[in-house]
A and B are shown apart, each in its own frame.
Chain A
Amino acid sequence: MSRRREPQRIEADVCVIGAGAGGAVAAAELAEGGANVVVLEQGPRHEPDRFSARPLEMMARLYRDGGQGTTIGSPPLLLPLGRGIGGTTLINSGTCFRTPPAVLQRWRDEFGLDALADEDALDPCFARVEAALSIAEVTPELAGRNAAVARRGAETLGWSHGFLRRNAKGCIGSGVCAFGCPTSAKQHVGITYVPRAEAAGARVITGADVRHVLVERGEAVGVEARLAGAGGGRIEVRAPQVIVAAGTIHTPLLLARSGLGRDSGELGRNLALHPATGAFALMDEVVDMAKGVPQSFYIDEFASEGIMFEGVAGPPSYVAMALPLTGRRHAAAMASYRNLALFGLMVSDASRGSVRSLGGRAVIRYDLVEEDAARFRTGLARMEQLFRAAGAREVYLPLPRGVTPERARARDLKLMAFHPLGTARADARPESGVVDGDLQLHGVRGVHVADGSVVPSSLGVNPQLTIMALATRLAFGLLDRAVPQTDQTDRAPTGVA
């Protein structure tokens, strides 16, 4: 007769699930504040010595599902997510914007989040993260010639633009931020906050697939997980405080299978994604887009319309996959890779999707509403205008052959998304949100959420700084201390949405 092996048991003050943007920040602040912290991370710890600057190889290794997770809907979107220590901060472009004031106003007005969205209260949280991540503006030299093409176009057209601020230190423009920074210049949380947490005594366990958050009589008592690897087995962390930071796609699934967060009916719903696409241009000049910071420049002229342009670039294999051409045209464009420029278009979406579990896997449903399709039509037309103004010989838009931006339907668009948000949204009213203004589950003491899932609306800008600032606020709230003031000489912009 076989007996089920007893789980390994650990006691802690706080158990943090996930070592990405939210979890790592909360863990470090709590551990440095004196709490006994255990971090459970599903993925591995990635060694920078194995970062090869080859997109195909690195996507298989650093991304969840090899970066090939897709949504169901019209059109289907590719939704790449990071997996492992650092989470998506390991494979994002490093762009940092504070939450736009208009968005915070909306959170106060529509979701009753007066304290959470208080600009003055969030200010020290942002400042603290900005200092920890060495956030600074990209220089024109480091931005590379791909950014120079977009800048020339924007200046010709008189469009508002600027160089982006990023969490990078000692960057030499390797051009592969999204495939593992080989110089460790990108200050992702895996090399910033996670080491700080460990230095302060936090225990970080990788390969831990959390199955349930444990709650008794309405209060958190811990977490139970399966361990991967040779030893395998189960682990139970007994802790009166649990911070769920498994990411916007997986946090609602974990809460649902734990029987938590479902009272409002909003768990897994309200998914915003910032759908995005990219357009290419064939230039007379050599661009060598992968030499320099891939996402170094932005154009925010149309941000008030929900349309933001941001740089994107990559080595030949990445471009070969992204280029919206086939056959001889694809081959001809790739032969001119050194003369290709690429720029991205991101939409602050009104569309909302959902995530649910099917056979243990996340099924993401997302349909682009007409309002957002119209934003893409406008955005693509303007992107063509931008490249023409920069002197492009040809422009390759992500549309089927013969379809102009004006006539594009949702299903014609070739989209990706990088910023899932909102599936356990914060709302002061228990009937409308999953967590309250302190990011604690409505009706359950001690279970908190600290990732993109709590963000109640589309941001219009890259969300990592928002997620980290909210995690900072949560950590200091649990420590019952004020967030210390930080010198703000290098303050990140707030965006303009």
Chain B
Amino acid sequence: MTGRDPHLHAFVSAAPRIERTGLRVLLALARRPRGARVLHRLAPADQLANGIASMGHFEDPAVAMSLGWDADAVASRGRALRREEGRP
């Protein structure tokens, strides 16, 4: 259910068992029109499913970059600085 995005899959898989099961059900519902309609009536669950799913979407480098966030640049600048200055 989260297999399309390895980081989302890893994130959900890291959750405790009960939360993990719940998240997988919510994400599966959110991907189906009927499920999404059901979720729509349960605001907290809808917000959670929407939040987790969109987290994966906005982690996509192209999407993040369009909003001014370049994670690769931040990470590589950090690596370079650590090497230059002998930081741990």
Q: Do A and B come from one complex?
A: yes
Binding site for B on A (CB under 8 A): 48-49, 51-57, 59-61, 63, 65-70, 170, 172, 174-176, 181-185, 191, 195, 288, 290-291, 315-327, 330, 334, 337-338, 361, 400-401, 414
Determine whether the beta carbon of A288 is less than 8 Å from that of B68. yes
The reply to whether B16 and A361 contact each other, CB–CB distance below 8 Å, is yes
Contacting pair A316 B52 (CB below 8 A): no
Tell me the smallest distance from the CB of A71 to a CB of chain B, in Å.
11
Contacts of A48 in B (CB 8 A): 78-79, 82, 88
A68 near B15: Cβ-Cβ < 8 Å = yes
Which of B14, B69, B71, B77 interacts with A60 by CB under 8 Å?
A: B14
Are B19 and A70 in contact, CB atoms less than 8 angstroms apart?
A: yes
> Contact check: which of A54, A183, A195 meets B71 at CB < 8 Å?
A54
Q: Which chain A residues border B68 with CB–CB below 8 Å?
A: 288, 291, 337-338
Is B38 an interface residue when CB atoms closer than 8 A count as contact? no
User: Which one of A57, A69, A181, A330 contacts B50 once the chains associate, using CB atoms below 8 Å?
Assistant: A330
Within 8 A of A (CB), among B32-88: 40, 43-44, 46-47, 50-52, 54-59, 63-64, 67-69, 71-72, 74-75, 77-79, 81-82, 85, 87-88
Do A68 and B63 touch (CB < 8 A)?
no
From the candidates B56, B71, B85, name the one contacting A315 in the complex (CB within 8 A): B71
**B16 A184 Cβ-Cβ under 8 A:** no
A174 touches which of B8, B20, B74, B85 (Cβ 8 Å):
B74
Tell me whether B11 and A59 are in contact (CB under 8 A): yes
Chain B nearest Cβ from A146, distance in angstroms: 13
Q: How many A-B pairs fall under 8 Å by CB?
A: 147
- The residues of B that contact A181 with a CB separation of less than 8 Å are 78
When C-beta atoms are compared, the residue in chain A nearest to B51 turns out to be A321
Query: Once bound together, how far apart are the Cα atoms of A384 and B86, in whole Å?
Result: 44
Question: Please, which residues of chain A bring their CB within 8 A of the CB of B10?
Answer: 57, 60-61, 66
Chain B: residues with CB nearer than 8 A to chain A? 7-8, 10-16, 19-20, 23, 40, 43-44, 46-47, 50-52, 54-59, 63-64, 67-69, 71-72, 74-75, 77-79, 81-82, 85, 87-88
Partner of B74, one of A53, A70, A325, A334: A53
Bound-state CA distance A69–B54 (Å) is 20
Closest Cβ of chain A: how far from B17's Cβ, in Å? 8
From B63, B68, B78, B82, residue with most partner A Cβ within 10 Å: B78
User: Are A60 and B11 in contact (CB-based, < 8 A)?
Assistant: yes
A69-B78 contact in complex given A52-B71, A320-B51, C-beta closer than 8 Å = no
The smallest beta-carbon distance between B27 and chain A, in angstroms, is 13
Distance from B81 Cβ to chain A, minimum over Cβ atoms (Å):
5
State how many angstroms separate the Cβ of B48 from the closest Cβ of chain A: 9
Q: Is the CB of B67 within 8 A of A183?
A: no
Cross-chain contact of B55 among A70, A191, A320, A324 (Cβ < 8 A): A320
Q: How far is the CA of A56 from the CA of B52 in the complex (A)?
A: 9
B54: contacting residue among A49, A52, A183, A321, CB under 8 A: A321
Whether A322 pairs with B51 at a CB distance below 8 angstroms is yes
> Which residue of B is nearest A340, CB measured?
B67
A-B contact pairs, 7 of them (CB 8 A): A53-B74, A55-B55, A56-B59, A68-B15, A172-B81, A318-B55, A327-B46
| B85: chain A residues within 8 A (beta carbon) | 170
A55 cross-chain contacts in B, Cβ below 8 A: 55, 59
Determine how close the nearest CB of chain A comes to the CB of B50; give it in whole angstroms: 5
CA distance A48 to B80 in the complex (A): 12
- The 8 A-B residue pairs whose C-beta atoms are closest, nearest first, are A182-B78, A66-B14, A68-B15, A53-B71, A320-B54, A53-B74, A317-B59, A316-B58
Min CB–CB distance B5 → chain A (angstroms): 8
Q: A175 vs B56: C-alpha distance in the bound complex, in angstroms?
A: 19
CA distance A52 to B77 in the complex (A): 11
Closest to A402 in B: B43
Please determine whether B67 and A338 come into contact, CB atoms closer than 8 angstroms. yes
Q: Which residues of A contact B23 (CB under 8 A)?
A: 68
When the two chains form their complex, are residues B74 and A175 in contact, meaning their CB atoms are under 8 A apart? yes
Among B7, B51, B59, B69, chain A packs the most CB atoms within 10 A around the CB of B69
A185 cross-chain contacts in B, Cβ below 8 A = 87
Neighbouring A residues of B69 by C-beta, 8 Å: 290, 315-316
